[in-house]
Structure 1
C-alpha cells in the first residue's frame, strides 16, 4: 500500500493544480456571440452567466453547459467553467451518462492543447495530478479506469498514463489495475476498446492490450490476484479459436452484442 506521506504529497499536488486553474482561467467568459437553444439548453439568463466571469454556476447549469455539444465557440465555454468543472470532477460530482470518456472528449473538442501555453500547461498539470492521486487513493471519488479513459480521450494518448501506472508500483495501484481489468475484460475479449473514442480505436485497443500483457500479469500475480483474472489477461493475447476455445474463456449468459 502507499504511505501516508505519498498520499499527502499527491493530494497537495492536485490541490495546487486546482488552485492554479482558478488563477489561470480567472476572468474567462464564453464568446460574446455564443448562443444556444432556449428550448433545449437554457434561458438567456443562463447564457448571460456564461458571459459573466468568475460567477459560480449551479450544478444543473454546469451539467447542461459541459454536456452540450453544439457550442459554436467550444474552447471559450470550457475555459469559462473549467475551474469549477475540474473541482467537481475530482470530487465525483460529475456523472456522465456513458462514462468519463465523455468528459475527455469535451476537452478534446475544445482543442485545449492549442490554447496559450500557460493555459495548456495548467490543464496538463491538472490531468497529471488527478491521475497521480487516483492511483494512490485506495477509494478515489472516480474509479481509476474512468479517470484513465478521460485522460486518454483528452490527450489522444495512452502512453503517459500507462507509464504513470508503471511508476506507481504499489498495492493500491495494483488494486486499481485489477478492478480496471475486470471492467475492461468484456470489451477487450471482444476486440473492442472499452470506451467510445474520437481517436483511432484499434490502435488504442492494441496499445492497451499489449501493455496489459506485458505489465499487468506479473504485477497482479505478485499481489495474489485470482487465477481467473490472470487467465483473462492471458486471453487478450490470443485470437480466434485459440481464444474462444480456451477453457478459461468466460461464458457470459445471453448473446454478446
Structure 2
C-alpha cells in the first residue's frame, strides 16, 4: 500500500507549487534572448523557452537554469520555475555540485525584485518546501542541501534557521544531527560547508551557522543516544584559536 503524505506541511507545499504555476503561467524568455549554440543548445531549444508553458525535457531544463550567461536570467527563470520547482521537490534535477547551485540560480534571477505577486509566490514556495522537509523523515532533498539552497537564494540563513529553531519535533532533531555531523568538519576549519555561489559575505554566513549550531544542538541532542562525540565537535565551534585545537576532543586529522 502506498504511503500518502497528507500532512499539513505537504498540503501547504502542494498549494505553493500550484500557486507558483498559476502566477508564472505564460512566462517566456525575452524574444531577443540568445545563447551559445555550441555550448548550450540550438535555436530550436531556445525557441521553446520563448513559447509559454511548453514542457521541457529534463536535460534542457537543467541546461537552462544552470546557464550563467542569459541576458535576462530573471525572465528565463520565471519561464522554467514551475517545472523546475516540481522536479526539485520530487528529487530530480539536483546538480552534481549540490543544491547551493540551485539557490544561486534563484539569486541570479533576482526573484525578490520581481512583481510582488510573483516574488511572494516564490517566497512561499521556498518556505513551504523548507517546512515540509524539516518534518519529513526522508525528504527527497536532504535538509542540509535545502538549507544551502535557501541561503543562497535569499542571501541569509536567518529565516530558515528561525523556523528550524521553533520546531519541537523528533524528525527535525534527527535532521539537525545529520546536518551538524556533515558540516562540523568544514566549520571547524572556518569554511562554509558548501561551495558558495552568490553570497556577498561567506564569512558572516559561516559564523552565523556555527553560532546557531553551538546554541541549539546541545539542547536538542543531549537527550538522544549516540551523539557524545558530535556534541564535543559542536562545542569546539564556540571556541577559537588554541582553545579549539588544543582541546582534547579536537580531531587529529592533520597528522
Regarding TM over 0.5, the answer is: yes
Deviation for aligned residue 1:252? 2.8
Whole-Å separation in 1 of the counterparts to 2:40 and 2:216:
45
- C-alpha RMSD of matched pairs (Å): 1.6
> 5 Å matches for 1:223-234?
223-234=224-235
Contact 1:145 1:180 (8 Å CA) reproduced? yes
Instruction: Report what 1:248 is aligned to.
Output: 249
Structure 1 unaligned residues grouped into runs of 5+: none
Deviation for aligned residue 1:6? 9.5
Contact 1:7 1:133 (8 Å CA) reproduced? no
**Other structure's SS at 2:222 match:** helix
Contact 1:7 1:137 (8 Å CA) reproduced? no
Instruction: Report what 2:103 is aligned to.
Output: 104
Instruction: Report what 2:94 is aligned to.
Output: 95
Distance 1:7 1:231, change over 3 A: farther
Deviation for aligned residue 1:209? 1.0
Instruction: Report what 2:131 is aligned to.
Output: 132
Contact 1:74 1:109 (8 Å CA) reproduced? yes
Contact 1:102 1:150 (8 Å CA) reproduced? yes
> 5 Å matches for 1:1-257?
8-197=7-196, 198-199=198-199, 200-252=201-253
Return the TM-score normalized by structure 1.
0.94
Runs of 4+ with >3 A deviation: 4-7
Return the TM-score normalized by structure 2.
0.95
**Other structure's SS at 2:7 match:** helix
Deviation for aligned residue 1:251? 2.3
Deviation for aligned residue 1:97? 2.1
> What's the CA shift string for 1:143-199, capped at 9, x where partnerless?
000000100110011111001001111110000000001111111000011123322
Whole-Å separation in 2 of the counterparts to 1:217 and 1:66:
39
Deviation for aligned residue 1:132? 0.3
Whole-Å separation in 2 of the counterparts to 1:184 and 1:63:
27
**Other structure's SS at 1:72 match:** coil
Whole-Å separation in 1 of the counterparts to 2:6 and 2:165:
17
**Other structure's SS at 1:222 match:** coil
